[in-house]
Amino acid sequence: MRETDAKDVFTPEDFTEEQRMMRDSVKEFIDKEVIPKKPQFEKKDYALTEDVMRKAGELGLLGIAVPEEYDGMGMDFVTTMLVCDYISGATGSIATAFGAHTGIGTMPIVLYGNEEQKKKYLPKLATGEWFGSYALTEPEAGSDANSGKTTATLSEDGKHYLISGQKMWISNAGFADLLIVFARIEDDKYITSFIVENDPENGISMGEEENKLGIHSSSTRQVFFSDTKVPVENMLSERGNGFKIAMNVLNIGRIKLAGACLDAQRRVLGLSTVYAKERKQFKTPIAEFGAIKFKLAEMAMYTYVSESGTYRAAKDIDNRLKLRIEAGEDPATAELKAVEEFAIECSILKVAASEYMQYSADEGVQIYGGMGFSADAPMESAWRDARISRIYEGTNEINRMLTIGMLLKKAMRGHVNILEPAMKVAEELTSIPSFDTPDYSAFLSEEKAILKNLKKVFLMVAGAAVQKYGEELEEHQQLLLAASDILIDIYMVESAILRTEKNAERNGENSQKIQLAMTQLFLYKTVDKITQRAKEGIVSFAEGDEQRMMLMGLRRFTKYQEYPNITELRKNIAENIISNNGYKL
Ligand SMILES: Cc1cc2nc3c(=O)[nH]c(=O)nc-3n(C[C@H](O)[C@H](O)[C@H](O)COP(=O)(O)OP(=O)(O)OC[C@H]3O[C@@H](n4cnc5c(N)ncnc54)[C@H](O)[C@@H]3O)c2cc1C
C-alpha cells in the first residue's frame, strides 16, 4: 500500500540489448516452428509438441532457469519471463508443455535438489534430453493439494520408497522421462516430494490422453503408481516438505503463467486488427465501426496493463534475488525466498493476466464474427486454449483467496503495516473533506491522486472487515474475494501508471499519448469496478450509520475532478492499433 516511485519500476521498455535479442530469437523460433503447423496442433499431434520441445532444447530454451554449471543458461528472472512470454503466444499446447517442463517439472530440483540430484538430472532436463512433469493433483485432491492419498512406504531394507497411488491431469505425462511426485509417508501431516524416473517396468502406467476443451496437443494423462521403487536418495528436500515445495514452485509457475498470457494477447489483437481491416460489411471495413474500435482498444489496454504488472514484479524478484545472493545466500535459497516475498504479486498476476487473456480471446472471436466460431480460423483455438489458465497453477478462486490471505497474514505478523494506515483512513472518514480544488495540471497527477484514494478504499474495507471478524474472516469468502479484487486492480493500475510515468519522464509526454490513453481508460474501469466490489463488501458487514459513513467515504475516494473522455480514449487507442496492424509499442 506504500507509494512507489516511477523510476524504481522496471518496464518492458527497459529490456537490455541482450534481452531484446533473446526475445527476437524466441519469436523467430515460434514463427518458424509453430505458426505454420497450427492446424496440426489442433489435431492432437502430441508427437509434434514433443518435437518442438526437443528443438527448443537444442536452442537452449529449456535450460533458461537452470544454472550454467548444470548445462543451463542460468538467466536472470526477467529474461526467463521474456522467453516464457514469447514462446507461449502461438498455441496453448506449447505454452503448457514448456511451462510444465521448465517450470514445475524442473524447478523443484533447481530449488530443492541436493548436489547429486542436480548433477544427475538437471543437465538432461536443461538440454531436452529428458522431459519433466509434475504430479501433484489426484482425483480427490485438486485445490486441496495436501489431501492426496498417494503413499510412499519405506522398504524393509531402508533403501527404497514404494510409491502407490493415482495422479490426474498430469501435463507432459505422455512423453515425460521424469516426474516430480508428491506422496504421503505413514500418517505425516504433510506430503513428501520425490524425483521419479519414468519406467513402465517399475509399476508406472498411464491413462489415455484426456479429451480436452483446448490445448489439444498438450499431453495430459493420469499416472498410476503401483509399488514403484524409488531410491531413498531421490527424496527431494526433507520428509514432510512436499507441500511447501509444491506451493513455492507454484508461486514461480504463477508469475510465469502470467508471462505466458502476454504474447497470446498481442497475437490475438494483431490477428483481430488485420481481420477487422480486411472484412467489409455495409461497404465499410468493420475496423471503422465504433463497436469494433471499442474491442480493439480494450484488448490493447489489457495487454499493456498485464505487461506492466508482469515485468514490474519479475524485476522486483530479480532485485531481491541479487540482494540475497550478495548477502551470502546460495542462489537456490535466494530465488525461493525472493519469490516468496512476492508471492502475493505472483497470484495477483496469474489471476489478472489469465482473465485479460480470456477477455481478449473472447472479443477476438466476436470480431471474427461467424469465422470466429470456425475451427479453420485462429480465434476458435485461442479462445479454447485461453480457458485453462484460469484453472491450473491454482484456480483463480484459490489465487484470489491467497492474495488477500497472505496480505492479512503479513499484516498480523507485522511484516506489512496495513492496520495503522487503515485506522488513519477510518479517522479521515469522520473528518470534514477539503473543498479546495487540487491542481492536476501535471502529467498523470489526477490519476496518481485517484490511485492513492483507491488504496484508501482497500484499507477502509479490509481494515473494517478485520476489525469486525478477526480470525473468523476466513469464513467470509465473498467478502475476501471482493477485497482481493480491489487489491488486484490496485496493483495492476498502479503498474500501468508507473510505466507510463517512467516512459514519459525519459522520452517526453508526447511519446506516451497512447500509453496514457490506455492507462486512463484502465483507471476509469478500475474505479468503477472497485466502487462496485467495495460497496458489496461494505453492505455485507456494516449497517446503519457505519454503512452510510463508509459509503460516503467510498464516494469521496472514487471521485474524479474531471473525467477523461472515455470514448475518445478508446477511439485514439484503436486508431493507433489499426494503423500499426496490431499492438506495436
Ligand atoms: C489441462 C490441465 C493440465 C494440468 N496439469 C497439471 C500438472 O501438470 N500437474 C498437476 O499436478 N496438476 C495439473 N492440473 C490440475 C490442476 O492444477 C487442477 O485441476 C486445479 O488445481 C483444480 O483442481 P480440481 O480440478 O480438482 O478442482 P477443484 O479443486 O475440485 O475445484 C473446483 C471448483 O471449486 C473451487 N474451489 C475449490 N476449493 C475452494 C475453496 N477452498 N474456496 C473456494 N473455491 C474453491 C475451485 O476454484 C473450482 O472453481 C492440470 C489440470 C488441467 C485441466
Ligand 1 near 169 CB (within 6 A): yes
DSSP strand pairing (160-171 vs 151-154) = antiparallel
Q: Give yes or no for a contact between 41 and 378, defined as CB atoms under 8 angstroms apart.
A: no
Q: How far apart are CA 521 and CA 515, in angstroms?
A: 10
Here the cell at position 268 is 490475438
Q: Residue 226 belongs to what H/E stretch? A: strand 220-231
Contact 180, 132 (CB under 8 A): yes
> What is the pTM for the complete model shown?
0.96
Residue 255 Cα to chain centre, angstroms: 4
H/E element holding 169? strand 160-171
Residues pairing with 185 in the sheet: 152
**Pocket of ligand 1 contains residue 261 by CB under 6 Å:** no
Is residue 142 lining ligand 1, measured as CB closer than 6 Å? yes
Provide the 3-class DSSP secondary structure of residue 59: coil
State which of 391, 478, 480, 484 you would mutate to test the pocket of ligand 1, scoring each by most atoms of that ligand within 8 A of its C-beta: 391
Has 393 been annotated as catalytic? Answer: yes
Angle CA 271–277–283, to nearest 5: 145
C-alpha cell at 349: 498476476
Q: Which cell goes with 239?
A: 520428509
The minimum-distance atom of ligand 1 relative to the CA of 397 is: 47
Could you tell me if the CB of 182 is within 6 A of ligand 1? no
CA atoms within 13 Å, Cβ hemisphere of 63: 25
User: Would you state the pLDDT for residue 412?
Assistant: 78
Of 73, 115, 80, residue with least CA distance to 332? 115
355, 363, 393, 446: the active-site residue: 393
pLDDT of res. 430? 85
β-pairing, 220-231 vs 204-206, is: antiparallel
C-alpha cell at 140: 480427490
Name the residue among 280, 281, 248, 239 with its Cα closest to residue 103. Answer: 248
Determine the residue type at 385.
D
Q: From the first residue on, what is the mean pLDDT of each consecutive set of 10 residues in the chain (585 residues)?
A: 88 96 96 95 96 95 95 94 95 96 96 97 97 97 96 97 98 97 97 97 97 96 98 97 94 96 97 98 98 98 98 97 94 92 96 98 98 96 97 96 91 82 88 85 96 96 90 92 97 98 97 98 98 97 94 95 96 98 92
Cα separation, 87 vs 316, whole angstroms? 22
Measured N-to-C along each axis, helices 477-507 and 513-541 cross at an angle, to the nearest 10 degrees, of 160
| Residue 410 confidence (pLDDT) | 84
Q: Write down the pLDDT at residue 452.
A: 96
pLDDT, residue 433, reads 78
Nearest-CA residue for ligand 1 atom 52 is 169
Q: What is the identity of the amino acid at 249? A: V
Tell me the best of 387, 395, 404, 478 to mutate to test the pocket of ligand 1, counting ligand atoms within 8 Å of each CB and taking the most. 395
Indicate whether residue 388 lines ligand 1 (CB < 6 A). yes
